[in-house]
Structure 1
Amino acid sequence: MYFSELTKEEFNTFMKENFSHYTQSIQNYDFLNKEDKKAYLVGVKKESGKVLAGCLLNQSRALKYFNYFYTHRGPVMNYKDLTLVEFFFTELDKFLKQHNCLYIRLDPHVLESIRNADGEVIQSFDNKLLMHLLKRHGYQHQGYDVGYSKIRQIRWLSVLDLSNKSLETLLKNMSYQTKRNIKKTEEMGVEVTTLPIDQTDRFFKLFKMAEEKHGFSFRDKEYFIKMQHVYKNNGMLKIAYINLNNYLKKLKQEVSESKKDIDNLEKKLADNPNSKKSKNKYKQTNNRHQKLLEKVEKAKRLKDKHGNNLDLSAALYVFNNHEVYYLSSGSNPELNEFMGAYALQWEMIKFAKKHQIDKYNFYGITGDFSNSAEDYGVQQFKKGFDARVEEYIGDFIKPCKPLLFKLFTLKNKI
């Protein structure tokens, strides 16, 4: 075995063949170097040239004369092969020393447990030997944190396993309410389309509504434009919308049909006024008719206010050979009755199945499974799709120059 920088072709092939995060990609590497944010592709190869391990390393300046390195969900390798892991980190030390590294942070794609949506452990993984090895190499574990952090990647991800499951099975496994909501979006005619980059404003308007609802500021519009450029072949902005002309046409047809039902029932009651069955049916049909009329009036008001097409919900998606990632999203709370978010998820689950991608990643949750969790509603939404929770091992930091690193952390705190 030997450690070396990898060619783009070697790295790309290895990441396609081995389970890896979308950030461990050539697209990210090209973007970082284009933006003058230095990045390296490093790994371990057999004498035959076969790649056994690899990662994309980001380099940034720290304390003017030193460098900070980070690998997002890397390095990628078989962590059960401790000989390989030992070799990789031994050789990585030499690489970091050559590049004047102050410290390195990594958050490997290593599972600590798989849980159900309520946080109960279904399967746990024994990482003691790996933890001991990393500690011996000077890597300090940053703890099993819960919640969101500005400096760490989220440790808890909500993931739906699509492997060996048909769309019918996936739908069957969802909660009753989720299935019902998906069916409703189809009945109402909610559509999903990909936004061209020059219509990013449509997405961003909905995204800002989400920020206002939750009281935070996360990304600017330029970030989403940049993401579309970086992942132009495997990323997209999706939007769920409804055409009000079509919706009104459908509603009016239903109104007409329900009016015919009412007329028929009135004739039956005229012939048999004491029929309990006809009375109940008449009451139910009349109630439904009134609700349909209310929907028609509301749809007309919405059309007057917003125009023909209503943008309901939108999201940024990225995908690779292994997962579809549901990243930033937003929706119009005034239009929740159209359930655009459900249409989006179902459309992209179908996309994943069509492209033979085995995981649909709803992405981060806090890991707080109590009823008072700040993301309780988000967790319940994802739970409805039958998603499980993947808990990762967490972040590690290795100070390569311990005294200077202490100075660096003190300076940042101040």
Structure 2
Amino acid sequence: MSYLFFKDINQEEFDEFVKNREYCNLLQSYNWAKVKSNWDHMYTGVYRDNVLVATGLVLIKRLPLSFCMYYLPRGPIMDYKDKELVQYYFDQLKKLAQKDHCIFIKFDPAIHVNDYDSKSYNINRYKDTEIYLDTFKSCKAIHHGYTMSIADTVQPRFQSNVYSYENINETLPKHTKRLIKDADRRNVQIIHGQGELLDEFSRLVELTKSRKGVPLRDKGYFKTLLENYPEGGVIFLATCNVYKLNEDAKIKKGKLEKEIAQTCENAKKKLHRLEDQLRSVDKDIKEFKEIFSEFGQENKDIAIAGILSVQYGNTCEMLYAGMDERFKKFMPQFEPLITKVTRFLGTGFYRNF
């Protein structure tokens, strides 16, 4: 068998290869280099007997004194059990690195180790990993270990999953079903789009950034994502019409007041129940009034939460999210999107290297 290594694979061939592999990942797509425009890059690949068998988007960070570092986010893409191929790829990449004064190469392939229920502690979670570690170590790679702190890795090592199946709604926990009903009761709706939703989505991310005190991306970055993934990029917004909710609350308040007035004093149990409902409605009306002070008392939908997602190959990455904390009781994250997007539910995890 003959091998050839290239550092300038064309986009069509590169993406076609990545999209159809087990380890397909958005961060190894051709256009990800355009998103990370503050890094240099190479589109590396290996041909075996004239057939493309490996690719790797290499991001290059320039450092002082003409040095640099190489980073392959969630890559390279290849059969990691093919020890000869892995060895050849990294041997060739290291030759380029030496010429480029690269001080180290970092890579974190998304190798699925195993699944276990989030309520369980799986003591065998690292079984069957030695075959990969032995191969990488033979290339002189240093494994950083199965770290537990998110600060120890660039990409996350745990991922929460819900695997879709028929009639999934019927098997959801009671607590989850109740939260979905809370969202429905407040008439939370889901809309989706691209550039036309950027302003509202960016506003929600800014609110999250301020609340959490963490650095997040801005509108310009989100715009770049959507421009580079025009077919797969999408913004989902959860919206609600507070004006209609307020009108409904006032009607309910009037009915409760009338019913209380018509209830005899001896029906203490019923009176307590009605008075509790009235207090709840009054609290809602007060909160609606505070919202009107910022958004105006208009008959319009207000964006209360959102996510930006990019579909690539057979994967879909939910990259960024934001929420207006004032609407947390509306439970927008539990409004079912059915076929539009996977619901965020923490019922299972799997490990990555």
* TM-score bin, normalised by smaller chain: 0.7 to 0.9
Aligned partner (choices 19, 22, 43) of residue 16 of structure 1? 19
Give the gaps of 5 or more residues in structure 1: 353-359, 363-381, 394-414
CA separation of 1:224 and 1:31: change in aligned 2, threshold 3 A: closer
Equivalent positions of 1:245-256 (< 5 A) are 245-252=243-250, 254=252
Aligned partner (choices 278, 284, 294) of residue 295 of structure 1? 284
How many angstroms does 1:63 deviate by?
Answer: 4.2
CA separation of 1:60 and 1:299: change in aligned 2, threshold 3 A: closer
User: Which residue of structure 1 lines up, in the alignment, with residue 326 of structure 2?
Assistant: 334
- Does structure 2 conserve the Cα–Cα contact (< 8 Å) formed by 1:3 and 1:42? no
- Residues 1:321 and 2:321 aligned together: no
User: Which residue of structure 2 lines up, in the alignment, with residue 68 of structure 1?
Assistant: 69
How many angstroms does 1:334 deviate by?
Answer: 2.2
CA separation of 1:63 and 1:289: change in aligned 2, threshold 3 A: closer
CA distance in 1, matches of 2:287, 2:4: 65
How many angstroms does 1:337 deviate by?
Answer: 1.5
TM-score (normalizing by structure 2): 0.82
User: Which residue of structure 1 lines up, in the alignment, with residue 46 of structure 2?
Assistant: 44
- Does structure 2 conserve the Cα–Cα contact (< 8 Å) formed by 1:159 and 1:361? no
- Residues 1:208 and 2:200 aligned together: no
CA separation of 1:257 and 1:52: change in aligned 2, threshold 3 A: farther
- Does structure 1 conserve the Cα–Cα contact (< 8 Å) formed by 2:260 and 2:275? no
Query: How many residues get paired?
Result: 345
Q: Report the secondary structure of 1:157's partner residue.
A: strand
User: Which residue of structure 2 lines up, in the alignment, with residue 228 of structure 1?
Assistant: 226
How many angstroms does 1:252 deviate by?
Answer: 4.8
CA separation of 1:97 and 1:119: change in aligned 2, threshold 3 A: farther
More helix by share: 1
How many angstroms does 1:254 deviate by?
Answer: 4.8
Q: Report the secondary structure of 2:56's partner residue.
A: strand
User: Which residue of structure 1 lines up, in the alignment, with residue 103 of structure 2?
Assistant: 102
Deviations 1:381-413 (A, max 9, x none): x42xx2x222211xxxxxxxxxxxxxxxxxxxx
CA separation of 1:298 and 1:131: change in aligned 2, threshold 3 A: closer
CA distance in 2, matches of 1:233, 1:148: 31
CA distance in 2, matches of 1:8, 1:175: 45
User: Which residue of structure 2 lines up, in the alignment, with residue 369 of structure 1?
Assistant: none
User: Which residue of structure 2 lines up, in the alignment, with residue 160 of structure 1?
Assistant: 162
Percent of aligned positions that are identical: 21
Q: Report the secondary structure of 1:10's partner residue.
A: helix
Aligned partner (choices 140, 143, 156) of residue 141 of structure 1? 143
Q: Report the secondary structure of 2:31's partner residue.
A: helix
Q: CA RMSD in A?
A: 3.3
Q: Report the secondary structure of 2:43's partner residue.
A: strand
- Does structure 2 conserve the Cα–Cα contact (< 8 Å) formed by 1:325 and 1:361? no
CA separation of 1:119 and 1:41: change in aligned 2, threshold 3 A: farther
CA distance in 1, matches of 2:129, 2:194: 44
- Does structure 2 conserve the Cα–Cα contact (< 8 Å) formed by 1:112 and 1:127? yes
CA separation of 1:30 and 1:201: change in aligned 2, threshold 3 A: closer
User: Which residue of structure 1 lines up, in the alignment, with residue 81 of structure 2?
Assistant: 80
Amino acid at match of 2:179: N
CA distance in 2, matches of 1:65, 1:287: 70
Q: Report the secondary structure of 2:225's partner residue.
A: helix
